[in-house]
Structure 1
Amino acid sequence: MSDLRRANRRLWNEWSDDFQAIWRSGTDEGELPPAPSPFADDAPGGPQPGILDSVEGQAYVELGCGGGQGSVGTAELGADPVVGVDFAGDQLQYARELREEYGVDAQFVQGDVTDLPLPDDRFDVASSEAAFQMVPDLDTALGEAHRVLREGGVFVLSVPHPLNEALEAESGTVGGDYLDPGPREITIDEEYDEVLRTFDRSIADLHGALLDAGFAVRRLIEHQRHAVEANEPEETDLPEVLWRVPQSVRFWAVAR
């Protein structure tokens, strides 16, 4: 593991309690915290039946699972077995708690997405949500994703949209450089010892890296914020410019 990855892992272990508290902050007493699956009907871009009919009965792995929300949500949809991998042990403690809250069967393993502690050709489906932008060696991470998938396996890769990341939201201007992949440093909170280091790769670079790793990209989705479906931008506290660009980009790819 690189020094940058170790620094990001230290941050996530330190940030984990606060991050998960925010994630659960909208949960009323007696309700389950959110556990969205990338394969649910309300996932960004919706399901893709032409690529994957259903995750029911499919062996699934979440790469960079954090608090396990995607793993638990996909287990709820019937995937079996379900495995979540993350490098931050404190995040995995929350993942195991969430598993028990939902009463689903999922295994959580500590490991890095560039060196997965998993056998070859083990899974039918894999996904990663907002994790690969923190990986310096994207080619190795995608190679590992390909390695653990069976031929014809489906990989859904989602990262923050690089154009969204380049915006200075308050001024409505482009403050970053779309063509500069980084690393970029983000201060989460002054009280933390580390900053978050990310890589804002262009859509072309992400697409090309998937092809080079042996994937056939079947669908590319650039989606706006979920709330745009229910709220008018002027009725929110978010800067108006954020409604004019995609929030994230999602690739549906198949292992060749």
Structure 2
Amino acid sequence: MTDDYVAINRRIWDEDAPNWVKMGETAWAGDPEWGNWGAPEANLRLLPDDMTGMQAVELGCGTGYVSGWMARRGARVTAIDVSPEQLATARRLADQHGADITFIEGNAETTGLPEAAFDFAISEYGAAIWCPPEAWLTEAHRILRPGGQLVFLGNHPLSLICAPENGAPADRSLHRPYRGMWGADWTRVEIEPSGICFNLTIGDWFALFHRLGFAVENYQEIYAPDWADHTRGSVPADWAKDYPLEQVWHLRKV
């Protein structure tokens, strides 16, 4: 892993920002859906139904639609992202939808936000995959109030160890070790190079949560729906019907 992952990922997301505008516009206008195949909120329940009066923060907000969903539910929302180009879209869409959201350009590992200031924190991809887990989870724990909730969605470890090292779509072989996994550097792969992502084994996730002071309240594995018939996020639908593409952790600060 290179020490320049923050700058690399910022550049990747700045350059790719125009490709996410249409998706952001659609998500802002719609109801909450999660992950590569749009799992409905009614099935996963990542957000509290009523967030009236809650202080909420999104860590790695991209175009800001998750923050928009929380504001619509009554939360007072702060959102942080490392990419100024993504934030430009987020701010425009917040204005368009009349959402009063505080957007901050910065690193979710060192937000600069006050200690114990938030009731609820969330990351859909964002910090959940683009920051080293111990770094961003330590910061999330710091800014949450005692009893505060953290929910995050990212790639399942299986989707990484089944991903060929040349960047080709995931298949049914194991291409890298599970033990000691940290993530992957996709900057120099042959097929669709991108940034540097992070992940852990399930056991290492649990050990990290315990060490930092998070209790696990729920864990969900997300598969492709029966109707899916194409590749998303470099994962073929047929693979993701048999193996989980994504995972959701529901934590609470002890």
Q: Structure 1 170/12 Cα, relative in aligned 2: closer, same or farther at 3 Å? A: closer
- DSSP-derived class of the 1:98 partner: helix
**Partners of 1:32 and 1:101 within 8 A in 2:** no
Matched residue SS, 1:143: helix
Q: 1:224–1:243: 8 Å Cα contact kept in structure 2?
A: yes
Give the counterpart of 1:250 among 242, 248, 251: 248
Q: Provide closer, same or farther for how the CA distance between residues 35 and 207 of structure 1 changes in structure 2, counting only shifts above 3 A.
A: farther
Deviations 1:181-235 (A, max 9, x none): 2441225998x9x73111231122122212211111111111213xx16x2x5xx
Distance, in Å, in 2 between the alignment partners of 1:110 and 1:219 is: 30
Q: CA deviation at 1:140?
A: 2.4
Tell me, in whole angstroms, the C-alpha distance in 1 between the residues paired with 2:182 and 2:15.
Answer: 23
| TM-score normalised by structure 2 residue count | 0.81
Deviation at 1:173, TM superposition (A): 2.4
Pairing 1:145–2:144 present: no
Residue of structure 2 equivalent to 1:219: 218
Compared with structure 1, are the counterparts of its residues 171 and 124 closer, same or farther at alpha carbon in structure 2 (3 Å cutoff)? closer
* Amino acid in structure 2 at the alignment position of 1:104: A
Q: What's the counterpart of residue 237 of structure 1?
A: 230
Whether the 8 Å CA contact 2:24–2:65 is kept in 1: the answer is no
1:74-133 C-alpha deviation (Å, 9 max, x unpaired): 111111x10111111111111111212222111110111111121111111001111222
Match of 1:11 in 2: 12
List per-residue Cα deviations over 1:37-66 (Å, max 9, x = no partner): 77xx932852279xx563222110001111
- Do structure 1's residue 163 and structure 2's residue 158 form an aligned pair? yes
What is aligned with 2:72?
76
> What CA distance in whole angstroms lies between the structure 2 residues aligned with 1:73 and 1:188?
36
Mapped pair 1:59 → 2:38? no
Alignment pair present for 1:97 and 2:96: no
Give per-residue Cα distances to partners, 1:129-186, cap 9 Å, x unaligned: 11222213x2221111011111111110221101022224464323333334244122
Question: Percent identity over the alignment?
Answer: 28
Alignment of 1:133-212 (within 5 A): 133-136=129-132, 138-168=133-163, 169=169, 171-186=171-186, 195-212=194-211
Q: CA RMSD in A?
A: 3.0
* Residue of structure 2 in register with 1:116 after alignment: 111
User: What's the CA shift for 1:36?
Assistant: 2.9
Asked whether the 8 Å contact 2:28–2:65 carries over to 1, the reply is: no
Counterpart secondary structure, 1:114? coil
- 1:35–1:69 Cα contact (<8 Å) kept: no
Structure 1 residue runs without a partner (length 5+): none
Taking a change above 3 Å as real, the CA distance of residues 6 and 187 of structure 1, as seen in their structure-2 partners, is closer
Determine helix, strand or coil for the equivalent of 1:118. coil
2:24, 2:63 within 8 Å by CA — same for their partners in 1? no
CA contact (8 A) 1:220 1:250 kept: yes
User: Closer, same or farther in 2 for the Cα pair 1:47/1:183, shift >3 Å?
Assistant: closer
Q: Mark the runs of 5 or more structure 2 residues left unpaired by the alignment.
A: 164-168
What amino acid sits opposite 2:230 in the alignment? D
Q: Is the 8 A contact 2:157 2:202 kept in 1?
A: yes
Give the direction of change, closer, same or farther, for the CA distance of 1:184–1:242 in structure 2 (3 Å limit): same
